Structure 1
Amino acid sequence: MKKNYFLILFLLPYMFFAQAGSESTITEINSTIPFQGVDETESHIGTGEYKIYYDNIDGVLDKPIFFVDGFDPNDTRDIPSMYGLLDYGNPVENLADVVRDEGFDLVVLNFPTYTRTADGAEINGGADYIQRNAFILIALINEINSMKTGVEENVVIGPSMGGLISRYALSYMEQNTMDHDTRLYISFDSPHLGANVPIGIQYLFNYMLNDAGITELEPLVNGLLNSPAAKQMLIDHYLAHVDAGGVDQSAITHTPLGAPNYRDAFQTELTNLGFPQDIRNVAISNGSNIGQMTGTPGMELINHTFDVEFGITATADIHFTPAANQNITVTDVLLSIFGFPVTYSATAESPATSDGIDSAPGGQFDLYSFDDGSNALITEFVDNLNSQYFNFIPTLSALAITDSNWYTTPNMTASPFVNAYIPDNNEPHVTLTEDNVTFALNEILENALTTQEQVIVDNYIKIAQNPINEHLTLITQKNFKNTSISITDLTGKLVFKTVTNLGTKTDIPINVASGLYILNINTQEGISLREKIVVR
């Protein structure tokens, strides 16, 4: 018995802590709060899956960062590919690797396709109702909070729709006296005021599927346009403009309208819920800060004749939505079936307050992503586009700034976010860059309990604060003479070098641009260190 007792004592640390740099298995997580969607007769719980990537320091789950998946209508992303989405820069770095090197644990939440036990329905989790996915996140936050050690509060990062899921979950927890134990929420190009898919494309795809019978488009239409999440987020939706047959345009106004029973109801609920109050809320936009457009209002996106099959051709002429107060044909299709013509057209009108949303400043949707090489017709469509991109997440939407003109230059005093990164040029949706990663790291590291006095080498040398401003302040327990200090960027280029004596507290002026760097310190006593720092 005594041998078993000592064996238990020996193994105890390994029973509760993972090794540095290790990973958990992928684990299923179910919400405990049911939700009833618009098209459902009763409420249901949701199912997700998560994986913990432990830090590279001690492998103890004590500094969780939640990374919440966004819109994934056909379940094309699994957890490892989500990790890969955090790559950035040249040479390639990975944000997850960086934060794990700083002692943080990454908790990745995915919403996969699953079969619901209650009724056997197949649920496309990546495009399910935003509320139900938010309740899954709440369950995960509660579970991780029960598992973690220490007093470090959580960080929650929500890219794309994941930002809405995160916002809803955190606000819901606060308003229902649930402790989220979270200090920072980073919204990454999330559509707080809605997302956009050109209405001309919507009409085209819906017509080609539901009238012309091109079934290859079914996954695209059902996921990108007709899923619950798409109908909750899209500012303009074809369902608001078609007649009872579901294809032909009705006489209802052709200015932007969301999907009936979905869009306005969700936006009202989200607005009433607001933002979490006990958290620092910051945002990253991929949309331009200076009014740069993607294309121009009313531009021709494609005008091409497709050989659909033997004896059938289709000519499609698609345009972006027009300038303010104008009404144009955005979808014009001519089918020729063994010489017999069949036509279809639809118009769109922009409001008097704003040019069409398709070309407004914003995070861009890459139309080339439609083509995975499996469908020759879609490949032909992509090959003949006049623009690779359209505005997907308007800059103002990513910043939650309400304005009737989508082209208005952002004024952060009108945003609920206390800080934001906005590039000058439009970027593809949820693209990580050196600049927005630096912004995110600055926010993550600044208020972490362990970064104000970070131990570098066995208590010999400490960085007083990281991120740093104009001075690098080092604290030591003894004096070091002729210490070599250098800073390189991530390409290895030397940007700063000095040799100096270190006292108990030494301020070293530096003059380098904001960004992520590598600090190298070498003392005459043979103490060497290499550490990432953020300069702001």
Structure 2
Amino acid sequence: MVQPRIDVDPNLLDGLSELSPAQRDEVAALLPRGLWFSAPEAGRAAGERRDPDTEWTLTGDAYDGQVATGRAGVYYAPGRRTVTRPLVLADGFNYGPSDLPGLWAHFNAPYGKGEHFLDQLLEAGVDVVLLGFDERHTHIQANAEVAIALIRRLAADAEREDLIVGGVSMGGMITRYALAKMELDEEEHKTGTYFSWDTPHNGAWIPLILQQMAHFFEAFVPEVPGEPKQAELLRSPAAQQLLWAWVENSKYSGEVTRSPLRAAFLQDLERVGGFPSIPRKLGVANGDGQGTALELEPGEIAFDWKQALGAASATARVQPHLGEKERIGGMHIGLTVRRSTTTAVPALDGAPGGTLASFGLVAKALGIPIDARFNSSCFVPSVSAVAIGGEPVHDGDPAPDVSLLPRTLSALDDFQCNDGNSPHSEVTKKLADWLLPRLTK
């Protein structure tokens, strides 16, 4: 069996001697600044921001010498001033601290005929507890200790196993690990239902060529104190633990494989049991469940940028499907050049799943137009969000018709996919209508 791999042409020159300092400054001014691949917080402005009724500061137990902290924003059901029937919704993958009012705005944005997901929970008598982290980009296990601190606080006042605990995106992984660890430690969590919203249970995907570009271009942008660079999120522990395939720098040639941090996390997750066994486990996927892929033709050019004086360029292609030495794109500044190919890598950019505007955000940062069809690519494949199969980079089909698969293949007790592929973590009518009665009955 051919192992998936990525190769950068080793015969190309690598230097800056042809550019003068003035030319380097000119090119640097054209390059995108700041983080790549972070979910835009502006996307959470679709709903109305709301401050919590009360807020708790949380400190987790140490993980590998690291102590993570966070906050819980409590929104009481009408007529209450104490938590009676709590639902924990943990924040997901991004850089820096959580924005709890922004998380509220995102999940309470109107959908369907003007329904609001979180308002409906409150009206059903469910107290909403939004769990945020001061470093969303740190180790999943460290933030899981923050989740455990919150669950302990809520469980101390619970009379039965009636807590509802889950999260969106990586938040679903954090709470999954937290509950499983508490069970391993024989610590009562009093959680009757666990839920996840477009959580990458089996991993997530960011186009390999865009990962390379982030590493490549950041070397040419002057550092600004306190401002993260383009590949900073990619280098974060959280990203390395979530991604199926992780590119460590723009020169890397070799097997397309997981980061050592992901390998270690998967071993640790298995050690604590994989999933909690006591609660009912529910999950929803923003991706289509009938195998309908995105309209992205493998190998076609998503964008092609050339700086006016020819001093810099960037070309990104949609991930080809398998094949040998298939071109995925390249970039150059002066004599520093990268041209990349992949072998035996499936066409994951177009797989059914919750989408992230990966190509679109990079193109916008470069100031170039991009066809709307190429704006977004798959971030959390449907099969990953519903916990079926393994890691499609290596041992699975990234685009099966989930509706035809036995539901017993999922590690979840029940799940629902979206009608069509929607943005990662978006509240849609299909998903909200399925999940609400299961959380409120």
Q: How high is the TM-score relative to the length of structure 1? A: 0.66
Map 1:67-78 onto structure 2 (within 5 A): 67-75=89-97, 77-78=98-99
C-alpha displacement of 1:66 = 0.4
The equivalent of 1:207 in structure 2 is: 216
Give CA deviations for 1:365-419 in whole Å, capped at 9, x if unaligned: 1238748xxxx97151565776111110011111111152112222222101111
Give CA deviations for 1:412-471 in whole Å, capped at 9, x if unaligned: 22101111111231111011111211111121123xxxxxxxxxxxxxxxxxxxxxxxxx
Structure 1 pair 108/72, CA: closer, same or farther in 2 (3 Å)?
same
Give CA deviations for 1:467-507 in whole Å, capped at 9, x if unaligned: xxxxxxxxxxxxxxxxxxxxxxxxxxxxxxxxxxxxxxxxx
Identity rate of aligned residues, in percent?
25
Q: Is the 1:203–1:346 Cα contact (8 Å) retained in structure 2?
A: no
Distance across 1 between alignment mates of 2:52 and 2:196: 25
Distance across 2 between alignment mates of 1:328 and 1:230: 26
The equivalent of 2:162 in structure 1 is: 153
* 2:288 aligned counterpart, secondary structure: coil
* 1:285 aligned counterpart, secondary structure: strand
* 2:92 aligned counterpart, secondary structure: coil
Q: Is the 2:218–2:230 Cα contact (8 Å) retained in structure 1?
A: no
Q: Is the 1:58–1:103 Cα contact (8 Å) retained in structure 2?
A: no
Specify the code of the residue in structure 2 equivalent to 1:276: P
- Quick check: 1:407 aligned with 2:399? yes
The equivalent of 1:331 in structure 2 is: 329
The equivalent of 1:491 in structure 2 is: none
The equivalent of 1:304 in structure 2 is: 305
The equivalent of 1:142 in structure 2 is: 152
The equivalent of 1:484 in structure 2 is: none
C-alpha displacement of 1:342 = 4.0
Give unpaired runs (5+ residues) of structure 1: 1-20, 37-42, 113-124, 240-245, 447-536
Q: Which gives a bigger RCO, structure 1 or 2 (Cα 8 Å, sep 6+)?
A: 2
The equivalent of 1:345 in structure 2 is: 339
* 2:136 aligned counterpart, secondary structure: helix
Map 1:42-61 onto structure 2 (within 5 A): 43-61=65-83
C-alpha displacement of 1:184 = 0.6
* 1:174 aligned counterpart, secondary structure: helix
Specify the code of the residue in structure 2 equivalent to 1:434: K
Distance across 2 between alignment mates of 1:236 and 1:323: 15
The equivalent of 2:411 in structure 1 is: 416
Map 1:124-273 onto structure 2 (within 5 A): 125-146=135-156, 148=157, 150-151=159-160, 153-210=162-219, 212-213=220-221, 218-223=228-233, 225-239=234-248, 246-250=249-253, 252-253=254-255, 256-259=256-259, 261-272=260-271, 273=273
The equivalent of 2:426 in structure 1 is: 431
Query: Alignment RMSD, CA only?
Result: 2.5
**Aligned pair partner of 2:62 in 34, 40, 46:** 34
* 1:127 aligned counterpart, secondary structure: coil
Which structure has greater strand proportion? 1
C-alpha displacement of 1:49 = 0.9
C-alpha displacement of 1:215 = 5.0
Structure 1 pair 97/274, CA: closer, same or farther in 2 (3 Å)?
same
* 1:219 aligned counterpart, secondary structure: coil
Distance across 2 between alignment mates of 1:213 and 1:144: 46
Distance across 2 between alignment mates of 1:205 and 1:416: 34
C-alpha displacement of 1:187 = 1.0
Distance across 1 between alignment mates of 2:257 and 2:205: 11
Distance across 2 between alignment mates of 1:443 and 1:293: 28
C-alpha displacement of 1:26 = 2.6
**Aligned pair partner of 1:84 in 105, 122, 128:** 105
C-alpha displacement of 1:99 = 1.0
The equivalent of 1:121 in structure 2 is: none
Distance across 1 between alignment mates of 2:218 and 2:194: 40
Q: Is the 1:62–1:150 Cα contact (8 Å) retained in structure 2?
A: no
* 1:185 aligned counterpart, secondary structure: strand
Specify the code of the residue in structure 2 equivalent to 1:128: T
Q: Is the 1:138–1:169 Cα contact (8 Å) retained in structure 2?
A: yes
Structure 1 pair 406/90, CA: closer, same or farther in 2 (3 Å)?
closer
C-alpha displacement of 1:306 = 3.3
Report the structure number with the largest CA radius of gyration: 1
Q: How high is the TM-score relative to the length of structure 2? A: 0.80
The equivalent of 1:283 in structure 2 is: 283
Distance across 1 between alignment mates of 2:199 and 2:320: 25
* 1:50 aligned counterpart, secondary structure: strand
